[in-house]
Structure 1
């Protein structure tokens, strides 16, 4: 089977992200990790899930990843649209999930208006889905190029791709 979008999003929350704490906080020891001492106005790397909790408590600002800037998303969109034979390498593995989590929980921390970022992410996703649909038509028994496909995209096509490969085998 496949994972649900919520499960993929949950897994993406383990990615590290930069925050700017608003107040001090002592180190917190967790089962699998340690959240370091937080000092105001000093950038720190923490898992995304920690950043979202601190953001909800108004204890930090989230620094959006560089790839989420309006300029970089426009470049990624242009790259996707101009090269219909491949996927852009400008986006990380969990770009869809990370983008949605930040847009939902920290829209005020983005350098551009959230609706602009959301629209660019949607446009990129539509172009990439068109590439996936076109790529599925040319499956062969010995070749399937999936370079730079994201986690959510891979999960969406997994059942169909598995079925096709099994039939080809």
Structure 2
């Protein structure tokens, strides 16, 4: 199966559909805190997005935005349930990291919920290290923040 990762924009209908699936998934895992987290997931601010296609079917997505002059924040990472475990998310993340590095960024950070056990394992496997919660996640008990040096 051929996987193709396409750099795109937030107006891409496949990106929009995948983000809707992601939000439905997060509404369940985040529970009562969903509205808090959701306010920080507005796609309008995202200028760097990718969609992964397997045999012309959109199966995953991801994005990043500038956090500061040296750091990007990974956002909206998602792979459809039936396509998980195939390395798709790792390829999406790698594409985002390489793109950010090409643009001169040195670090990548992200936040995920402690209840999202698959995501926690995934980011650790991708060489992200837990570091202190930043910004709006500082006082969120359910949040776990990660950082990786891009090279």
TM normalised by structure 2 equals: 0.31
Structure with the higher fraction of residues in helix conformation: 1
Larger Rg: 1
Point out which structure has higher relative CO (alpha carbons under 8 A, 6+ apart).
1
